[in-house]
Structure 1
């Protein structure tokens, strides 16, 4: 089953699916700044574009380019901002 997700007035959209390893989403983030909450550990892969992330427990924003990833623990929140449309794969583990 493929699910459709839409957040922040349509500025973040994704398609969700489940593999043998768990749930994942593939999506696009429009330029802007957003705060996401997590229920599970998330592994976020930037596929195309780039973003800046403020991760839990950090005071410094990290620049994440295409081909890079970062992890966010369960039951936390993180902030991202981008100036270009950015494609991502998020794995929920």
Structure 2
């Protein structure tokens, strides 16, 4: 896994949601691809994210529990792993530690 992205534009204004438990920055590539690079802080309640387009969430550091869509299964993801969320769906995520992640936005 590369340690950096080259040739990108960064949106300076951060996206802060869930009272600061999730903070990210949008990055744009020359080919039109968009990704969000962010951090999720530890929380006792799951954070629920809704998707308009498909997303692949890559965990850079930390460990988290994820439930995707209507599926009742909760799966643990670790650094170096990723999970896919279909468009027009949602996922719930919870962690006891800081999570660094990249959200790869499909179709952009």
By the TM > 0.5 criterion, same fold?
A: yes
**Partner residue of 2:60?**
47
Tell me the matched-pair count. Answer: 93
| TM-aligned CA deviation for residue 57 of structure 1 | 3.4
**Partner residue of 1:84?**
97
Asked if residue 24 in structure 1 is aligned to residue 28 in structure 2, the reply is no
Q: Higher Cα Rg: structure 1 or 2?
A: 2
Structure 2, unaligned runs of 5 or more? 1-8
Asked if residue 13 in structure 1 is aligned to residue 23 in structure 2, the reply is yes
Normalized per residue, the structure richer in strand is 1
Question: 1:18, 1:38 → 2: CA distance?
Answer: 18
Q: TM-score when scaled to structure 1?
A: 0.94
Q: Name the Cα RMSD after superposition.
A: 1.1
List structure 1 segments (4+ residues) > 6 angstroms apart after TM superposition.
none
Q: TM-score when scaled to structure 2?
A: 0.82
